[in-house]
Amino acid sequence: MEEERVSKLMARRGLCSRREAEQYMAEGRVRVNGNLITEQGTKVPVDAKITLDQAGLQRLTIALNKPLGYVSNLPQENYPEAKELILPENRFDKGPPVDPKSLHVVGRLDVNSKGLILFSSDGRVAKKIIGPDSEVEKEYIVRFLDPIPEGVIQKLRFGLKLDGKPLKRALVKRAGDRALTIVLREGRNRQIRRMCELVGLRVSSLKRVRIGNIQLGSLPVGQWMVVK
Average pLDDT, the chain: 91
Average pLDDT in the 55-64 region? 81
Domain pair 61-132+215-226 / 138-211, same fold: yes
Q: 180: helix, coil or strand?
A: strand
The predicted structure's pLDDT at residue 156: 97
pLDDT at residue 143 is higher than 70: yes
The predicted structure's pLDDT at residue 55: 66
What is the distance between the alpha carbons of residues 121 and 104, in angstroms, rounded to a whole number?
Answer: 6
Which of 99, 101, 85, 103 lies closest to 17 in space, CA to CA?
103
pLDDT grade, residue 43 (50/70/90)?
very high
* Phi-psi map region of 212: left, alpha, beta (phi>0 left; psi -120 to 50 alpha): left
The reply to whether CATH 3.30.70.580 applies to domain 61-132+215-226 is yes
Mention the CATH class of domain 138-211.
alpha beta
Average pLDDT in the 26-48 region? 89
Enumerate the active-site residues.
110
pTM: 0.78
- Domains of the chain, residue spans: 3-52, 61-132+215-226, 138-211
